[in-house]
Amino acid sequence: MQTFLTKSAVEAAEFIKQGRIVAFPTETVYGLGANVFDAKAIEKTFIAKQRPNDNPLIAHVGNLEQIKLLVSEITPNAQKFIEAFFPAPLTLVLPKAARVPFIATANLETIGVRMPKNELALEFLRACETPLVAPSANLSGKPSPTNWQAVYEDLNGRIDCILQGATTEIGLESTVVDCTSDVPLVLRAGAITLEQLQTIEPQTRIYQIPKNEPLKSPGLRHRHYSPRAKVVLINPKSKIQNPKSKAFIGLDKPVENFGLVKVCRSVEDYAHSLFEFFRQCDREGIKEIFCQMVEEKGIGLALMDRLKRASESGMPSG
Ligand code: TXA
Ligand code: MG
């Protein structure tokens, strides 16, 4: 398959209208879009990414009206979050509408919905004239792509088109909140923080992974965001052997002489840079990446979540 590259949202939308799949930028990471009502097109995204089919997808809308096409009910909590934040790096899980095919939700009765805050994404979604499911546009298990070149690296020849936009602003995936019950549950931390959600709905909690029950979000079971290199979390004062062959990313300049170093200006800059740094390390054959830990508040919670997942081993995912 030839992967067509374009900067035109309208040209990219033509592929979607033909039942084909298109990678496009959002403010979080690049997504791999397919028409949410076209089960065959959705199946192509699972195949292209080699994604396990028990991991549900997020539906993306170009305007608030389209949410009604996707869900059977907008709960009061969800309504408040929509009014307060959309468009935003925020996904709300709601009861799904009957017409959404089960392949989109991995057989769940719920669907994640989000309206991205990125001009090109919105222009593209509107030109498609339908909501799109869009997992992150990486091969399953690899770090999510934050620029179109990273999409190309993983999916050239496997997808129909890449809409070439800028590097994504945030660099980590959206906050996922289950809004199906009275207490909203954060299933995945992201740039819309727990603190922000609690200003709108004070009951909002972080979902704690139960020991013996099925998981709320199947994606939580899988390993994510991992470079080939081993990821090790450290404090700034940790002592490292043979740093020349290793890499460092964090907020404080390390004392050791690492082979590859990225010192970030802020926690936001760290979040923005992490996935591309992981990919750079793999390209340069680095075997071990040391990542400075940050405080788990604000976007630091999302950043630490991705760092912890990258440093654990498990099944590859989305
Ligand atoms: O920022 C983002 O969310 C990006 C961009 C492209 O929008 N998309 C993204 O999609 O990260 P993906 O497929 O890589 O991650 C979706 C996450 C998974 O952890 C999945 O388990 C969870 O959202 N999810 C999706 N639908 C769900 C549902 N109905 N119930 C619970 N969790 C759900
Ligand atoms: Mg993903």
Which of 58, 113, 155 maximizes ligand 1 atoms within 8 Å of its Cβ, making it the mutation to test the pocket? 58
Nearest residue by C-alpha to atom 17 in ligand 1 = 219
Which of 13, 180, 183, 37 shows the shortest CA–CA distance to 105?
A: 37
Confidence of residue 224 (pLDDT cuts 50, 70, 90): low
Of 1-10, 211-220, 272-281, least confident by mean pLDDT is 211-220
> What's the one-letter identity of residue 185?
L
**Percent of the chain clearing pLDDT 70 (strictly above):** 94
Nearest residue by C-alpha to atom 33 in ligand 1 = 217
Question: Which residues' Cβ are closer than 6 Å to ligand 1?
Answer: 26, 28-29, 31, 55-58, 91, 93, 105, 108, 110-112, 134-136, 173-174, 176, 187-188, 216-219, 318
Confidence of residue 239 (pLDDT cuts 50, 70, 90): confident
Integer angstrom CA distances of residue 189 from 78, 148, 150, 169, 229: 17, 24, 23, 16, 24
Nearest residue by C-alpha to atom 13 in ligand 1 = 135
Residues 6 or more apart whose Cβ sits within 8 Å of residue 83: none
Mean pLDDT across 135-147: 96
Q: If you compute the radius of gyration of the chain from its CA atoms, what whole number of angstroms results?
A: 19
Q: Using the mean position of ligand 1's atoms as its centre, give its distance from the Cα of residue 59 in Å.
A: 9
Mean pLDDT across 230-236: 90
Mean pLDDT across 20-48: 98
Residues 6 or more apart whose Cβ sits within 8 Å of residue 203: 182, 183, 184
Tens-digit pLDDT profile for residues 73-94: 999 999 999 999 999 999 999 9
Q: Using the mean position of ligand 1's atoms as its centre, give its distance from the Cα of residue 254 in Å.
A: 34
Mean pLDDT across 249-256: 94
pLDDT of residue 225: 64
Q: Using the mean position of ligand 2's atoms as its centre, give its distance from the Cα of residue 143 in Å.
A: 8
What DSSP string describes 61-130?
-SSGGGHHHHBS---HHHHHHHHHH-SSSEEEEEEBPTTS-HHHHTT-SEEEEE----HHHHHHHHHHTS
pLDDT of residue 238: 76
Which of 103, 217, 305 maximizes ligand 1 atoms within 8 Å of its Cβ, making it the mutation to test the pocket? 217
Q: Which ligand 1 atom is at minimum distance from the Cα of 91?
A: 3
Q: Using the mean position of ligand 2's atoms as its centre, give its distance from the Cα of residue 42 in Å.
A: 15
Confidence of residue 34 (pLDDT cuts 50, 70, 90): very high
Of 204-213, 254-263, 273-282, least confident by mean pLDDT is 204-213
Q: Which ligand 1 atom is at minimum distance from the Cα of 219?
A: 21
pTM of the model: 0.95
Inform me whether the pLDDT recorded for 50 exceeds 80: yes
Of 39-53, 237-251, 268-282, least confident by mean pLDDT is 237-251
Q: What is the overall mean pLDDT for the chain? A: 94
pLDDT of residue 313: 58
pLDDT of residue 315: 43
Mean pLDDT across 54-60: 96
β-pairing, 90-95 vs 58-60, is unpaired
Tens-digit pLDDT profile for residues 90-132: 999 999 999 999 999 999 999 999 999 999 999 999 999 999 9
Q: Using the mean position of ligand 1's atoms as its centre, give its distance from the Cα of residue 311 in Å.
A: 20
Which of 73, 91, 209, 224 maximizes ligand 1 atoms within 8 Å of its Cβ, making it the mutation to test the pocket? 91
Inform me whether the pLDDT recorded for 235 exceeds 90: no
3-class secondary structure, 246: coil
**Cα distance between residue 197 and residue 205, in whole Å:** 9
What DSSP string describes 259-309?
SEEEE-SSHHHHHHHHHHHHHHHHHTT--EEEEE---SSTHHHHHHHHHHH
Inform me whether the pLDDT recorded for 220 exceeds 70: no
Nearest residue by C-alpha to atom 32 in ligand 1 = 217
Q: Using the mean position of ligand 2's atoms as its centre, give its distance from the Cα of residue 169 in Å.
A: 17
Tens-digit pLDDT profile for residues 169-216: 999 999 999 999 999 999 999 999 999 999 999 999 999 877 776 666
Inform me whether the pLDDT recorded for 270 exceeds 80: yes
Confidence of residue 223 (pLDDT cuts 50, 70, 90): low
